[in-house]
A and B are shown apart, each in its own frame.
Chain A
């Protein structure tokens, strides 16, 4: 069963605007959440993470928000750039063990 879900397979955003990628999870035991970015023919690259004791973490243009009561997290990219075009995976783990991945959202940032 899919414990981490990304319900939007794709998203298209204009350059300079905000990109919002969403992720839902079902397991309340997850205590660490991560976002990965993947280009074709490459492995996923770690982007940003958040612990369950926080509700927001920011790193430059990237911010991750966690809503534990809703079991929902989101990744905001502001401003979006064409180089951000990639597949974004949401992942969650319990106690630092294996990651459970969503199926990914393909982001296209158009000039």
Chain B
């Protein structure tokens, strides 16, 4: 298995633009998580899905953030409009038990 796949690996965009991050979980995993890592706050959970259904989105910073999981093999995290304070590394992880497996992350820079 190729592991969790995220794209793009790097994204640089201007403030106000829409940004879409993509994730393909490990086949057979029924839970998917989006995390954000910053120097100040460390790794924080944004949202997670179980069997494609959003279970907890309390970590989503504000309405500018949205996430979807249209099927078991694909999820997106969208930021619209983006702001400089959204600059961070965004990780996707999947699991079928306790141990979550992480993708390589997307480094987002909003100028």
Contact = CB atoms under 8 A, between A and B. Distances in A.
B10 to A, nearest CB: 10
Interface string B73-111: 000000000000000000101000111111111000000
Given A98-B33, A98-B48, A43 B91 contact: yes
B102 A99 contact: no
A102 B98 contact: no
B21 interface: no
B72 interface: no
A100 B102 CA distance: 14
A61 B110 CA distance: 41
Nearest to B43: A101
A89 interface: yes
Interface in B1-45: 4, 33, 35, 42-45
A86 to B, nearest CB: 14
Interface residues of B, number: 21
Interface string A85-105: 000010001001111111110
B42 A43 contact: no
A97 B48 contact: yes
Contacts of A99: 33, 45, 100
Contacts of A43: 4, 91, 93, 102-105
B31 to A, nearest CB: 8
15 contacts: A41-B104, A42-B104, A44-B43, A46-B100, A93-B98, A96-B98, A97-B48, A97-B56, A98-B48, A99-B33, A100-B45, A101-B35, A101-B44, A103-B43, A104-B42
Interface of A: 32, 34, 36, 41-46, 49, 89, 93, 96-104
Interface of B: 4, 33, 35, 42-45, 48, 55-56, 91, 93, 97-105
